[in-house]
A and B are shown apart, each in its own frame.
Chain A
Amino acid sequence: MAEQGVASVWRRIKAIYTIQGNMCKTCGSYYFPPRPVCPECRRKGKLELYTFKGLGTIYSYTVVRQAPEDFKRQMPYVIAQVELDEGTRLTAQIVNVDIENVEIGMRVRACFRKIKEFGQGGIIAYGYKFEPTMKVTGHKEKSSPKQKEP
């Protein structure tokens, strides 16, 4: 692993730490991770940086029981596709939850955690994972609040 993660994580740090992606002013689509070109509008697109609110719903999930070396200590862990309230999806671990309670449709919010170590001598990467909102607020959110234009 070149530079053991230093440069490859550092240059993405805004996106990984704050869930910063972009939003196309032309078509209103949100993108995470940030894209260089809006695939809907191409040259007519007008991408602006956008920091996601970090709230979403589990779209699909699994429990990883065979993992690469860098994740072995976390096994078994839940990983999911989270549909953010703005309408785009990302892939992240779900933490602070019992495996058997995870379900499609579960409301989750972003939290800041250690992601992995780049081998023994490499850096420790931090970034987003998600946890059930219920663990934080104490009650189930019925549905996702309608997203307002920024």
Chain B
Amino acid sequence: MRNRVAIIGVGMCKFGELWEQNLKDFTLEAGMYAIFDAGVPGSDIDGMVIGNMSAGRFTGQEHLGAFAVDMGGLGDIPAYSVEAACASGGAAVRQAYMAIKSGEHKVMLVLGSEKMSDVNQTEAMNTISVASDWEWEGMFGATFPALYAFMARRHMYEYGTTEEHLAMPTVKNHANAAHNPWAQFQSPVPIDVVMKSGLLADPLRVLHSAPVTDGAAGLVMCSEDLAKKYSDTPVFIEASDQSSDTLALHDRKSITTMNAVVSSTRYALKEANLELKDINVFELHDSFSIGEIILTEDVGIAKKGEGGKALEEGITEIGGKFPVNPSGGLKARGHPVGATGVAQIVELALQLRGDAEKRQVDGAEKALAVNIGGTGATSIVHILGR
């Protein structure tokens, strides 16, 4: 029997603009929460990885591995941060997965964290923009929302996706987040408010976009044979896969599909020996609402071009056939870039344990997360199972 990697503890801080907390405060909160949830003595943890995109620009602090181990009182264990733009969190989970799988580590703490609100909105946007090709996109005036607007415009042109469709992920995800005590925005938003919100880059509006968020999430992971010692409700990582694509959006043959998502999802399903219909709940990277529409298609929930229609039909709502972003997604849970990939796994682990309370997808057995870096240049897919 293959020795899988188990998730035995999950934790998060409340996401939001956390004026009273610095990077250290809430990263520690999420990590401690995960360790207490796992019931693991700190001395059993033999390694740590932290996902973070740009603490150096956001807060002036780098070297987050040592930073977090020191603040958490975890002794002299090896620790480092990993960066893959908005997929940094997913990359951290995958690093720990591989470290445990290889036998090098036994019990690891995985963190994802970002403090974004200590710089102004413009600087926050500039920092996010370097996830694309700065020299050939950013320098010519293409902001990050502009690049996703290229995708949205082209999707509308090729498939007849409408402005209503673009607003639907926001409405659904806010409704879900109303039941998520960790979410940044816990109030529903009606579709006409979304459609009348200010334009960032036509046709994308403020309420199509994930917010600026501070926050952290944490996991404790170990090998399957150890999991039973610590936890009655371990969740297993059935597959961890990652693909890359061109850094610049203009170098892709198509900008209405993310090839890295298509291939990493395919590899993951194969590795887990599952088909898409076996997956009961999804967390898909909705940094912009068009992202959720494209990902709904690229993972195979909807045919190419019919992501908007899937939303219209309610397939991706909680209670639908393929619930997407029960947590509220990046839009409503919030998007502290380095934390997002870890927060997705926290949500799916809660869903599989049956601990997701009012946003619970009944009887969820298998779950899939897609974490994107940049405009799809990195895609990290994890499949979890009970």
Q: Show the binding face of A for B, using Cβ within 8 Å.
A: 8, 12, 33, 59-69, 71, 74, 77, 79-81, 88-93, 104, 115-116, 125, 127
Contacts and interface: CB of A to CB of B under 8 A. Distances in A.
A62 B146 contact: yes
B255 A90 contact: no
B126 interface: yes
B249 A81 contact: yes
A79 B148 CA distance: 12
Given A62-B153, A81-B250, A116 B139 contact: yes
Nearest to A59: B154
Q: 9 shortest A-B CB distances, which residue pairs?
A: A62-B149, A89-B250, A60-B150, A60-B154, A62-B201, A63-B202, A91-B137, A60-B153, A81-B250
B122 A64 contact: no
Contacts of B204: 62
14 contacts: A8-B135, A12-B135, A33-B136, A63-B201, A64-B145, A64-B146, A65-B199, A77-B141, A79-B140, A81-B150, A81-B250, A81-B255, A91-B140, A127-B140
Interface of B: 122, 125-126, 129, 135-137, 139-143, 145-146, 149-151, 153-154, 157, 198-204, 248-251, 255
A67 B141 contact: yes
A66 B150 CA distance: 15
A29 to B, nearest CB: 11
B137 A66 contact: no
A79 B135 contact: no
Contacts of B157: 60, 104
Nearest to B134: A8
A8 B136 CA distance: 12
Given A63-B202, A66-B125, A79 B136 contact: no
A8 B249 CA distance: 21
A68 B144 CA distance: 11
